[in-house]
Each structure stands twice: as C-alpha cells, then as structure tokens.
A and B are shown apart, each in its own frame.
Chain A
Amino acid sequence: MTRWIGTVEHLGITRLRGPLLVVRDVHGVGWDESATVRTPDGRVRNGLVLSVDRDLAVVQVFEGTDGVGVEGTSVVFAGESTHVPVGEGWLGRVCNGRGAPIDGGPPVAGVRRAPVSGRPLNPTRREPPSEPVLTGVSAIDALTTLVRGQKLPVFSVAGLPHLELATQIAAQSTVRDAPFAVVFAGMGLTHPDVAAVRDALAERSARGELVMLLNTADDPVVERILTPRIALTVAEHLAFECGRHVLVVMADMTSYAEAVREVSADREEIPGRRAYPGYLYSDLASLYERCGRIRGVAGSVTLVPVLTMPGGDITHPVPDLTGYITEGQVVLSTAAHGSGIYPPVDPLGSLSRLMRKGAGSGRTREDHLDVAAQVMSCLSRARHVRELADLIGEEALSGTDRAYLAFAEDVERRVLSQRPDETRQIDETLDLCWRALSLLPRRELTMLAEDALARRYVARTGG
C-alpha cells in the first residue's frame, strides 16, 4: 500500500454540495488530512478530509466549491493535516484569512511547518498565569486586569465600538519587561472595518510587533474556520519557541461560529441549540484553550476574543459557551454607549477571574486589588441607589446615597472614559480611581487598608 505522497491525482469526484466534495477510489487517505483541489482553469483550492469510508473521502473545500465541476477537477492529498509555516517572518505582515499575503509582499516563509490544529498542552506542564498584560485601557487594567496566559473575551452587541476597542487593545498593549507581539485575527469583517483596523495598527505593524490575518465578510465562509487556527499556530511558535509574550485578538467569534454552523449543516449533522452543532463547545475550546504559559518556558499566549451577542442575548450559544470556557468577560453595554462613554464597558457585568493573580504588589501596584474591589462594591451600591432614586426621586435620598451617585458619575466620566488613541498608564488609572473614591465618606471605604487611605484618600465630600 505504498503511497507517493502529493503525487496521486484523484479525478473521481462523485458529489459536490456546499463546501463539500466526495472523491472515490482513494486509498490510504487519513481523517483530517489536508488536500488540494485543482479545477480545469488551473485554480487551486485547499481542503480538509472530514471522513473516509472505505474508498470514499469527503473533503471540505475552504474556498467553497463555486465553479468546481465533476469533470476535470483533480484532488491531491497531502498525507498530513493542514500545516502552515511558522516563524518570526510573520511579524509585520498582513495576510488574508488563509495566511496568503495581501500586503504585496512575498509568501510568508517560516523556519518550519506546524499543524494548524495544534496539540493539547499537557495540563501538568502549565504554569498558572500570574503577571499582567497592560492594555492602556483603564476600564480593563483597573477592574478586569488581563493576565498573561489568560483568555478574556469582549462581549458586545452589534453597533457598539467593540472593534475599536479590540484594535486599541492590539495597538497599545504591553508587558513592561519582555518581548511582546500581537496577532490580530479578523473574521467576517467588512471592508471599511478592515481599512480601519489596518490603519490603526499600521504603526505597530511597521515596528514588526504585529501579525494581521484578515478574513473579510465576503471571503469564503469556510475559510474563517482556518483563520483563528493559523493565528494561534503562529502565536504558539512566537511564544513558546521565540520567548515572546503574544496577545491574540480574535474578532468576531460570532462570525467564526456561524461558519462552523454552516459547515455542520452541509454535513447534515443533527443541529443543537439554535442550529449550532452539538460540538460547538469543544470546537471553541480547541481555540480558546491554546492560550497559557508553560513551566520553564519564557513566553505566553494571551487571548482576547471579541464576539457580538446576537440581539444582545448573553444566553445565545456563542457568548454562553465562550463564557463557560474563558476566564471572565468584558461586557460592553448599549446604555453606556448611549450616554456617550467610550469604551462602553459595563464594569459590574465584567469579570477577570485571574485578576487576583496578575495584579497587585510587584505586578501593577500594591493597592490595585483593594481599590478595584472597593470600586466594584461601591458601583454595585450606586446601582441600587440609582434604582431607588428612580422610584422615590433624588431629593429624597440621604447624603451618603447622593455621594454614591456622584461617585458612579465620576467613575464613568473620568475612569472608564478615554479616547480611542489614549494610552493610560496603570498609575494614572489607579489615581483616577482614588479621586472617584474620595467623593465618598471615608467610613464607606471598608475594603481599603488604613495606611493606603492615609496616603491616598483626600476627602472631596461636602461632609
């Protein structure tokens, strides 16, 4: 059963349907193997074996089967799963969702090739995340600190500036003391969006710190399944072999999940909730779980997936399953956007589960965790006060309650709000938090240590 890998051309195509193509008379072709499809006009497309049954192979064609016919089309199997070159040659490049250059440069060369599906990282070799990635965005740095090796998604709604926020994070983020790189994977973006992203990230790209993979909304849907996998494969190499801390920003995961659903429907699988396949959780996990750190290895992969909740519904399968896998979430709110706050983060709905490991003394600042806890707790109280005020009127509130309203207003206007091109240092962010807290009477600040209060609390209250 000898095979000359890459040389046998199979011509026996028996079926075409959506992105799927069935070839007969194949021998020794394995599941998950990569394939190239050549049409009579000389165009070459890439595919993947979805199942093999005796001498039949079902191939999923990433570019779709438009213009593919039964006659004259040939399929060649690669004898291995889909691979991409990996290496530092990716830095500074702009490519489409399949990794082909769109910046006018030559194809990306790598030091070696790696399978895009990756391999699961042995959980016993993982190092628990413990240092921050500073995004320069106060709402995230102060209240939901991003930690190296964490996966922290942004949950948004159509119409909100989540792509601006994602781009801002990609443009500004740093780790203070080590080599850093960003991989930006755009999925299903519109052309104006792509232009905006390329524009905002041009500077970082020119510095050779950025890899851009951009799949547009009119690119083949199935290609979107490949985009995040290429991004993560490139990132893993930059992190674990080149020792960089790599931030991977993936937007929009909802478009990715829709591509998964489309392929699943073509495969005639039993649909699960909202017609997404039952394995969507595992599929998303196979991406999100590729972040992390390895014991004894310098780099890290940190993930910020961005997704839009269809109809603002957080129980929709995409945000829901994402929330089950990721370590917290940053939620954007239409109400905050409506009142002109950028970034429109809802601090009470947001959470970074690993924050207590990545912030505080020796990492950000010694008072950070207490300040964040105090701000959150006071915001929660302020929310109740606001509801009460709606009921009974603001005049009927006690003095303390009015101080809470002033505090919440100050947090929204001065701490959470910033310009899309403004990088705030963590010290400045925390000082702004202290300014807001100083609007409250000192007795309300029960979560702050006495010495911190003595150093930083300057009463701004009337009484």
Chain B
Amino acid sequence: MVAVTAGTAIEGRVVKVSGSLVEVEGLPGAVISEVVALGRVGLLGEIVAVADGVFTVQAYEDTGGLAPGATVAALGRPLSAALGPHLLGGVFDGLLRPLSEAGEWLEPGAGAGPGDTLRWRFTPTAAPGADLAAGEAVGTLDGDGPFALLVTVPPDLPPGVPLAVESVVPAGEYAADETLAVIGGRPVTMATSWPVRRPRPFRARVDEVAALHTGQRVLDLVQPIARGSTASVPGGFGTGKTMLLQQIAKWCDADVIVYVGCGERGNEMADIVEELQSLVDPRSGRPLRLRTVVIANTSNMPMMAREASIYTGVTVAEYFRDMGLHAVVIADSTSRWAEALREFASRRGALPAEEGYPAGLASALAAFYERAGDVRTLGGGRGSVTIIGAVSPPGGDMTEPVTAHTQRFVRATWMLDRDLAYARHYPAVAWEGSFSRDAGALAGWYARNGDPTWGRRRARMGSLLAESDRLASLAELVGEGAMPGSERVVLLAGRLLRDCVLRQSALSPNDGFCSAAKGAALVDAVLAVVDRCQSLIEAGVPATRIEEADLGALVRAAEATGPADAEGVAARRDTVLAELETLS
C-alpha cells in the first residue's frame, strides 16, 4: 500500500502497539539498537529486542493512531546525535532536533534537521601532505560561540594511525555539511554524527585535578568538585534543585554547558533560555546563551525521548570536550530518566527489581556517570566532561533506588534539605549528608594556585558548623541563656556562617555569583569576628552583650559588595571588629 521510501531500507510491518512499545515483523537484517521509522509519518524508534522474528521497538514519539499493518523502515544506523557548531545557543528535543524549527504544538514525526543556512568561518591548521590521526584538528571555526571550535578527523577511525591529508579548503565561510578536507580518503565536514550510547574515545584520563568553580559558596567552599567529576543533587520538591542547577549553568567557569531538562517544567525551560539570552558571560562578554546547549524534553513531551535525552546530552558534551574544551552536563532530573526506563521495562514485561525499576538500573546509572572525566583528547588537548545530575526522590525518601544507587557512583553529593528550604535558606545544601570526594585533592590544587589556607578554612568551617548544630540541639533543651559564653559564641558562629557565607541569593545581582576571592574573604571575615568574640568572652565580656552587638555590616556583606569585591568584604569585617572593640 505505502510506497517503499528508500531503496536500501528494509520494510517491515507493525503487529502490536501498546503506548511506546511497538512490535514489528519482517526486518530480517535489522540489528539491536538500530533506528526504525514507523508508519507513514516515520515515528522514530529503536530496536531493543528480537524474539522469533518479532522485533520489539521502543518508540521515541507519541504512537497515537499507529495501527498493526503500518510499514516500518529500518534505517541502518544506531540512534545518533547530529553534532556541529550549530548546537551552541540552540534549544533541541531529546533526539537533538532543533525545537526552534518546530511549530507551536509539537507533532510526532516532524523532525527537522540542523538549519542549513548558517555558515561559519573555517581556518585550516593542517596542510595537504601532512599526516593526521583520528581526533586531531584539521582547522578552527570562528562562529557565534565565545571559544575557538575545532574541526577534527572523525574519532571513529583507529586511534593513532596516521592518515594523509589529501586536500584542505582555503580559509573562508562554509556551511556545516560542506567538505572541508579529505583525509585518508574520507571527507571531513563541520557537521558529524555520533551514536549516543557509545562514549567517544579519548587518549587517557588525566590524574591531576583542577577545581570547577561554580560561583555558589556552599559548593565551592564546602563540597567542591573538580573538572571532569560527577555530582548528584538529591532533593524533594520545593528544595530549590532547579534553581541551584540553573545558577551553576549560568555561572560555573566551564566553556560549554549542556543543560538537559529531562521531564521537567516547560515554563522553567522558557525561563532559563530567556535568562541565558539576557545574561552576559563575565569572562567573554557575550550572552551566556552562546556557550549553552539546551536539550528540552519537558514532562509532557514523549516519555521515551527522555531516556535518549540523557545520552544525547553527554554525547554533545563529549563532542566539545574533544575540541579541548571544558563541558558541564546538567541533567534535571535523572529520576525522570529512570522512570522512563521503568516504564518501558514494565511494558516489555521485564522482571521488576527494586520499586519496579529494572534490575539494570544501577549499571545504567554507573555507565552514564562514567562518561564524565578530565581527559587528554585524541588530538592531544585537555578537555573535560563534568556531570551534575538532579535526583528527585519520591516523598523525599533518600533510600529509594535512584538516589541510593546514584550516590555510590558520583564523586560529590549536594543533598538538599527540606528544613533549610522551609526556613528559606537557599541554596538549601545540607552540610551534613552532603559529601565531596574531591575536596582533599582540591585543597592541594588551591594551595598550588595561590590559596594555601583553603583546606584549613574548609576544615574550620566544617567543625564550627557541626559543633554549633550539636550545641543548638542542646540549647533547645536547656535554653541558650543557660549555656557558657564560649558555647554561645559557637552558636553565634554557626548563625554567622549560615547567614553570611552559605546562604546566597540567586536573585541578587551582587550575590548570584561569588568569586573564589570574595567567598574566601567572607569566611575569613566571619572567622576573624568569631575569634574576636571568643577573646572578648575570655576577657570577661558577657555573651548577651556580644549577641546584641550590631553585626549587620557583616550579615549584609555578601549582598552589598560586588561579586568579586573581596576588599569590600574586608572593609566590612573591620567595621564589625571596630564595633566589637567598643565592648571590651
């Protein structure tokens, strides 16, 4: 009935449709993971199982109206992402199709390719006759992005094997699919494609660490992560997960941000895109949007594309990593991805393990986070992929499978606390329950990079916070007035650290981003004031007088001084110290 579309495509028939699960017959040569086009509109799906000539297909789009008897074409390739310079500044769906090209209401099967009208300036760095291996640079691109992008020899060729450069185009403006060079008989274009489930190769992982500065004090000072590391952000609803992730997306010092909105709110996606457009990258002076790739798969978009969007996102990050750039993947939320895994497993009738999730959940999570890393690229540069994944535990239950397994595989966890959020203390990252396995190594890195006291400062903060929490529970029993002066100063220290340092207003132009120097100055200011208070207690000044002293200059320091104004903080510290002098 339906005309055979492509000459090479294999034609099969749909025999069963149940939501995203489709069964197909008559695809003799098809293989697992191959992409198929279903029905007249060509809904995309992926073959996940074969039994007795019946292929089980996971459909990525709404299968409404698809009926047994509809034709199926096997496309002869695994699920792949179309990579290229057009990604920066764009908004894409879970299969990396540009959403800006789609209509107001999303129709299934209406996939658009990358806009082909755009052109980028290409400057060759290799000459004909030279030898290049897989992953090595052929030239650079000056597009819209704030960084030099590289065009490389396709990384799927055998690594390290030299190939002759047969021809290279002269410098000039080219479209994404124009041949820029011929190397080892293969044309090289800006636009490439890579199977999303296969990690892109690199030469080696790099051992030494470097900090990823997020601009969020509670992270940078208490639970920091390194470039190429992994972090999870578990938190119940209303604890400010998305807000924290958006702050990191805006302000962390990476070259490229891949923001994957996986099963989250449409309004939020619209909001972040608009904000990235209007905010300026302090390092490059261009809109932040030009360093960001947004993958938007909102919760009402087809569920199975969520499953793909996580892999698509990390593949995009690896693509930029291979140009020697530092990329950060922010996935909000990995729980929705896991739910898509569960939904499909249940439709297939797979045996459920914990809470209905498939038994492979833990290994799928581990494999995903393992795609992060700080590496020496095939081209010899140094690039990294950092993965930050939100986790949405049902009912705030931190023992549920996704939360519990994720914590085993990540280097850092920023646990969001409902009580802190309830008290409007944002970011609500709990100092207890969160961890960073990078902190030790990063203390060494800070020491080598001009801040030798970083490790000591973090340790002092940690012990003061723990001590003040312990005393606070005691104070609830006996009343603060009944406690010795030195302990009341510890309670004051806890309050000051929370209010001056850990709390940070995402909405404040001064405080949304905090430089490393200002963060350090704020902690040092609090510690200096606390030390002075302790010495006043020792000198016999009553604790009540110290508690009534006006510390406002310090409390408002973060908001009142510029994002990198360490001197302003120091000046306010001196004001408060002078105020305390009047007590002695």
Contact = CB atoms under 8 A, between A and B. Distances in A.
A348 to B, nearest CB: 7
Contacts of A328: 238
A120 B106 contact: yes
Nearest to B65: A30
A178 interface: no
Given A124-B296, A282-B303, A354 B267 contact: yes
Contact of A282 (B343, B346, B355, B392): B343
Contact of B265 (A27, A325, A348): A325
A447 to B, nearest CB: 11
A455 B23 CA distance: 71
A111 interface: no
A321 B263 contact: no
B67 A52 contact: yes
Interface stretch (B10-18, B180-188, B428-436): B10-18
Given A124-B91, A279-B343, A349-B422, A53 B15 contact: yes
Interface stretch (B119-127, B144-152, B245-253, B393-401): B393-401
A70 B15 CA distance: 25
A321 B65 CA distance: 29
Contacts of A269: 346
A129 B267 contact: yes
Interface stretch (A206-214, A247-255, A284-292): A284-292
Contacts of A124: 91, 99-100, 102, 270, 273, 296
B19 A31 contact: yes
Contacts of B105: 118-122
Contacts of A456: none
A203 interface: no
A351 interface: yes
B18 A51 contact: yes
Given A1-B69, A354-B267, A356-B507, A32 B64 contact: yes
Interface string B378-421: 00000000000000101111000000000000000000000000
B479 interface: yes
B136 interface: no
B545 to A, nearest CB: 15
A272 B345 CA distance: 13
Interface string A16-41: 00000000000111111100000000
Given A272-B355, A278-B339, A279-B303, A320 B18 contact: no
B38 to A, nearest CB: 11
A329 interface: yes
A104 interface: no
A269 B348 CA distance: 11
A278 B104 contact: no
Interface string A300-340: 00000000000000011100110111011100000000000
B104 A121 contact: yes
Contacts of A356: 507
A317 B355 CA distance: 13
A238 B524 CA distance: 58
A121 B237 CA distance: 23
Nearest to B396: A315
Contacts, number: 181
A320 B237 contact: yes
B317 interface: no
A273 interface: yes
Interface in B353-396: 355-356, 392, 394-396
B64 A30 contact: yes
B342 A278 contact: yes
B140 interface: no
A351 B238 contact: yes
Interface in B70-104: 91, 99-100, 102-104
Contact of B397 (A27, A81, A127, A315): A315
A52 B424 CA distance: 51
Nearest to A384: B423
Given A30-B64, A128-B274, A278-B343, A289 B265 contact: yes
Given A50-B18, A348-B422, A30 B66 contact: yes
B581 interface: no
Contacts of A50: 18
B68 A281 contact: no
B301 interface: yes
A419 interface: no
Given A120-B105, A122-B104, A285-B299, A380 B273 contact: no
A387 to B, nearest CB: 8
A128 B336 contact: no
Interface in A106-149: 117-129, 149
B237 A282 contact: no
Contacts of B552: 446
B92 to A, nearest CB: 9
Nearest to A51: B18
Nearest to B274: A128
Contacts of A321: 394
A65 interface: no
A125 B101 CA distance: 10
Interface string B8-30: 00000001111100010000000
Contacts of A55: 68
Interface in B292-346: 296, 298-303, 336, 339, 342-343, 346
B538 interface: no
Contacts of A281: 263, 299, 336, 339
B107 interface: yes
Candidate in A32, A55, A269, A392 with the most chain B CB atoms within 10 angstroms: A32
B346 A278 contact: yes
Contacts of A399: none
Interface in B431-470: none
A423 interface: no
Contact of A31 (B66, B273, B296, B352): B66
A271 interface: yes
Most B CB atoms within 10 A — which of A1, A119, A271, A286?
A: A119
B271 interface: yes
B502 interface: no
Contacts of B491: none
B298 A289 contact: yes
B223 interface: no
A270 interface: yes
Contacts of B578: none
Contacts of A459: none
A376 interface: yes
Interface string B504-545: 000100000000000000000000000000000000000000
B205 to A, nearest CB: 35
B229 interface: no
A380 B424 CA distance: 9
Nearest to A50: B18
Nearest to A55: B68
A290 B352 CA distance: 32
B16 A52 contact: yes
A101 to B, nearest CB: 28
A303 B18 CA distance: 30
Given A124-B99, A279-B343, A377-B424, A324 B237 contact: yes
A285 B424 contact: no
Q: Which residue of A52, A349, A351 has the most chain B CB atoms within 10 A of its CB atom?
A: A52
9 contacts: A32-B63, A53-B68, A120-B301, A121-B104, A124-B102, A127-B270, A271-B356, A316-B395, A348-B422
Ordered nearest first, which 5 A-B pairs have the shortest CB separation?
Answer: A315-B395, A285-B299, A289-B300, A51-B18, A323-B237
Interface of B: 1, 15-19, 23, 63-69, 91, 99-100, 102-107, 236-238, 261, 263, 265-267, 269-271, 273-274, 296, 298-303, 336, 339, 342-343, 346, 352, 355-356, 392, 394-397, 422-424, 476, 479, 507, 552
Interface of A: 1, 27-33, 50-55, 80-81, 117-129, 149-150, 269-273, 278-279, 281-282, 285-286, 288-290, 292, 294, 315-317, 320-321, 323-325, 327-329, 348-349, 351, 354, 356, 376-377, 380, 391-392, 446
